[in-house]
């Protein structure tokens, strides 16, 4: 008995040593051993959202690239707003935060920030039709900002210069929601980062920039300081490589390079293109539309919204061709070359016909077409979420007029958190469909004015010719 005890003790010590040796020693080793990179983010057009063809957004693309480099699976956890992201990170949730965070001095006291991937300025936003404020000292109305944001930090600094400066804190809404509240005239002003303003002016064209309230500030990923630096250093190296090989610049261009030239309707340009570009492709639209039971003018209007009838068009998100198909969707539709107008137009017609087929049979035209086009843009699942919200509010889920009033709610957390498929850029889907309706109406009007060709005349027979 006296010799057995030390033997068992030795075995226990060896077992504990083996367990200790098998446990990861660093954060980087832990992530690689678990096989999952756990990233905190937030739903926004500038960060991460579920698009019609899967997850997208600048933060998503950056995080996905980092996960692929580490050889692990990416898991994005959605927090409601910046305040929620920071709270979760401080409590030890997630490996790091990729949520459009500004690397401010107060935050650097408890978090490590990677090299920046973008620089922004903070801007005071108001709505056109109201007087433009000239300074923070002369604001007349309600200024509302999101809680625990870099905007709150900046305003506290500026209050020393403007003692009468006051603002309201919103603990629930994110920056995009506050921008929509300015547009809806629910509040007079808000503060937003310049990249968010540029992105959201496409959806809220009446938003205006009064002036900057900060110098350029960096956006970066945030890592908690209470963990070792191994994963953080790997992320720093990753960003340095992205900058050196030009991929970071290409990603920024994909999401922001087109915004300055964005035009919602461009009716005069459209009518010019009707005469200069459409004749070359009209027969293709007519043929594919007939094959799938569509109005060729609706298909052509959708193609104009997608590409301005440019077969070589490439969007900021990588879709391309006349009908702006993703590589994945093109493969599902049998389209081998997206820039071939014959394949692209047929693929787009097939995809639109599939969306039409998913719309309940009881829904009649033209609502059937408008709902199908919304699904073409935002994804059928998100359209269904908006129809369910419409029904819950006592509206008609089969009416485009009723549904389009609810689609923008998919951008607001209090609504999308209670849907099956979450956040979506519903405003963009509404704008997309309404633009196509305008293009379609103009095209219908012009084609209805066309003089039909005369019917073929019977050939006069020469009775003196025996062959006839």
Predicted confidence (pLDDT) per residue in 427-468, tens digit: 999 989 988 888 887 888 788 777 565 555 544 434 333 333
What mean pLDDT comes out for the span 121-129?
95
Give 302-349 pLDDT, tens digit per residue. 999 999 999 998 876 678 899 999 888 899 999 999 999 999 999 999
With CA atoms as reference, report the closest residue to 410 among 369, 381, 436. 381
- Mean pLDDT (the chain) is 87
**Whether pTM exceeds 0.95:** no
Q: Please determine, looking at this structure, whether the domain spanning 263-449 carries the CATH number 1.10.530.10.
A: yes
Give 257-275 pLDDT, tens digit per residue. 656 554 544 667 888 899 9
Q: Please determine, looking at this structure, whether the domain spanning 122-214 carries the CATH number 3.40.190.10.
A: yes
Is there a shared CATH topology between the 23-117+220-256 domain and the 263-449 domain? Answer: no
* CA 438 – CA 264 distance, rounded (Å): 11
Domain ranges across the chain: 23-117+220-256, 122-214, 263-449
Per-residue pLDDT at 80: 80
Lowest model confidence (mean pLDDT) among 8-12, 38-42, 54-58, 403-407: 8-12
Give 201-238 pLDDT, tens digit per residue. 877 878 899 999 999 999 999 999 999 999 999 999 99
Assess contact for 115 and 220: CB atoms under 8 A: yes
Catalytic positions, written as ranges = 306
How long is the chain? Answer: 468
Q: Which CATH number fits domain 23-117+220-256: 3.40.140.10, 3.40.190.10, 3.40.80.10, 2.30.300.10?
A: 3.40.190.10
């Amino acid at each position: 008995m006296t010799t057995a005890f030390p033997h068992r003790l030795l075995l226990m010590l060896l077992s504990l040593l083996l367990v200790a040796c098998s446990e990861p020693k660093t954060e980087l080793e832990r992530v690689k051993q678990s096989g999952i990179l756990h990233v905190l983010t937030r739903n926004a057009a500038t960060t991460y959202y579920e698009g019609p063809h899967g997850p997208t957004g600048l933060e998503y693309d950056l995080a996905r690239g980092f996960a692929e480099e580490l050889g692990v699976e990416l898991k994005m956890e959605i927090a409601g707003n910046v305040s929620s992201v920071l709270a979760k990170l401080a409590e030890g949730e997630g490996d790091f935060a990729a949520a459009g965070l500004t690397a401010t001095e107060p935050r650097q006291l408890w978090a490590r920030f990677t090299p920046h991937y973008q620089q922004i300025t903070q801007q005071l936003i108001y709505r056109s039709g109201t007087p433009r404020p000239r300074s923070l000292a002369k604001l007349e109305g309600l200024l509302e900002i999101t809680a625990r944001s870099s905007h709150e930090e900046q305003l506290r600094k500026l209050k020393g210069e403007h003692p009468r400066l006051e603002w309201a804190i919103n603990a629930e809404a994110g920056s995009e929601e506050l921008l929509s509240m300015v547009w809806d005239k629910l509040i007079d002003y808000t503060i937003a980062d310049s990249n968010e303003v540029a992105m959201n002016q496409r959806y809220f064209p009446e938003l205006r920039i009064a002036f900057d309230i900060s110098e350029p500030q960096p956006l970066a990923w945030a890592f908690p300081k209470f963990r070792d630096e191994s994963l953080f250093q790997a992320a720093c190296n990753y960003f340095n490589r992205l900058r050196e090989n030009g991929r970071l610049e290409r990603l920024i261009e994909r999401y922001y390079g087109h915004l300055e030239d964005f035009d919602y309707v461009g009716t005069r340009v459209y009518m010019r293109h009707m005469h200069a570009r459409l004749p070359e492709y009209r027969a293709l639209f007519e043929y594919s539309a007939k094959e799938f039971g569509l109005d060729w003018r609706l298909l052509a209007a959708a193609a104009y919204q997608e590409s301005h009838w440019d077969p070589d068009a490439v969007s900021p998100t990588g879709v391309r061709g006349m009908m702006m198909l993703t590589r994945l969707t093109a493969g599902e539709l049998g389209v081998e070359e997206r820039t071939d107008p014959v394949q692209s137009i047929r693929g787009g017609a097939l995809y639109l016909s599939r969306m039409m087929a998913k719309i309940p049979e009881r829904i009649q035209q033209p609502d059937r077409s408008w709902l199908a086009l919304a699904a073409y843009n935002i994804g059928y699942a998100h359209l269904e979420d908006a129809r369910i919200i419409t029904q819950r509010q006592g509206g008609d889920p089969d009416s485009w007029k009723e549904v389009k009033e609810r689609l923008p709610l998919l951008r607001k957390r209090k609504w999308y958190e209670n849907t099956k498929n979450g956040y979506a850029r519903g405003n963009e889907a509404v704008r997309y469909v309404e633009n196509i309706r305008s293009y379609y109406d103009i095209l219908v009007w012009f084609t209805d004015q066309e003089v039909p060709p005369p019917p073929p005349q019977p050939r006069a027979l020469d009775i003196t010719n025996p062959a006839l």
